[in-house]
A and B are shown apart, each in its own frame.
Chain A
Amino acid sequence: AQSVTQPDIHITVSEGASLELRCNYSYGATPYLFWYVQSPGQGLQLLLKYFSGDTLVQGIKGFEAEFKRSQSSFNLRKPSVHWSDAAEYFCAVSTSGTYKYIFGTGTRLKVLA
């Protein structure tokens, strides 16, 4: 079955530290991959997307993600976290020719001052 796994439910980092949020997917076809961020009581905002080409993609707010087909992963990274990055982060997967997006269960990020 198609699935998206975000193994870390909660992550806490200090402000200025680096961040990596993990995302693993199980999909038969070539995946289209997305990372979204959600602040409390708000909708989801797109951070970045991967469709094809360069496996390292840059997004908004200084985030980047790397697609590794051999590991079925699409991990989100940021070199230096800011207090305003505290939020919940969702990985999502789709595949060509389908309406369906599968979302992970999210990783809640806490940033220590």
Chain B
Amino acid sequence: DGGITQSPKYLFRKEGQNVTLSCEQNLNHDAMYWYRQDPGQGLRLIYYSQIVNDFQKGDIAEGYSVSREKKESFPLTVTSAQKNPTAFYLCASNGDSYSNQPQHFGDGTRLSIL
């Protein structure tokens, strides 16, 4: 079955450490997205990518970085500059960014501070 795989499901970060969240899709989608979800705040866009080797900042990109070297993969790095990283992180994809197709979501990664 086609879908989006996020790993790990749970992740713990130590002070001053960078951590990377994995997102892989086999839906042949061009566009991929990273969202942060906090209780009572809905989903906020961190970064999105419309095509390989290209990505743009979303609403809350500070303290995060991404890469898009392959169509299937869009990893998110939470850097030590992100002072409040505890949240649920969701990766999504759709056919392309401008056709308004529904986004498909992975099952998320929960990041906590040690």
Query: Smallest CB–CB gap between A51 and chain B, Å?
Result: 7
The residue among B56, B103, B108, B110 with the most chain A CB atoms within 10 A of its own CB is B103
List B contacts of A42 (CB < 8 A).
107-108
- B98 adjacent to A43 (CB under 8 Å): no
Interface membership of B16, Cβ < 8 A = no
- A103 adjacent to B43 (CB under 8 Å): yes
Tally of chain B residues near chain A (CB < 8 A): 24
* Closest Cβ neighbor of B43 among chain A residues: A103
Q: Give bound CA distance, A23 to B15, whole Å.
A: 40
On A, residues with C-beta under 8 Å from B are 4, 9, 32, 34, 36, 41-46, 49, 51, 90, 94-101, 103-106
List B contacts of A94 (CB < 8 A).
100
B49-69 interface with A by 8 A CB criterion? 50, 56
Q: Give bound CA distance, A3 to B102, whole Å.
A: 18
Q: Give bound CA distance, A34 to B100, whole Å.
A: 10
Given A41-B110, A42-B107, A42-B108, A90 and B42 contact (CB-CB distance below 8 Å): yes
Interface membership of B79, Cβ < 8 A = no
* Closest Cβ neighbor of A96 among chain B residues: B100
Question: What 1/0 flags go to B21-51 for Cβ under 8 Å of A?
Answer: 0000000000100000000111101001010
Q: Give bound CA distance, A42 to B67, whole Å.
A: 24
Interface membership of B90, Cβ < 8 A = yes
Interface membership of B106, Cβ < 8 A = yes
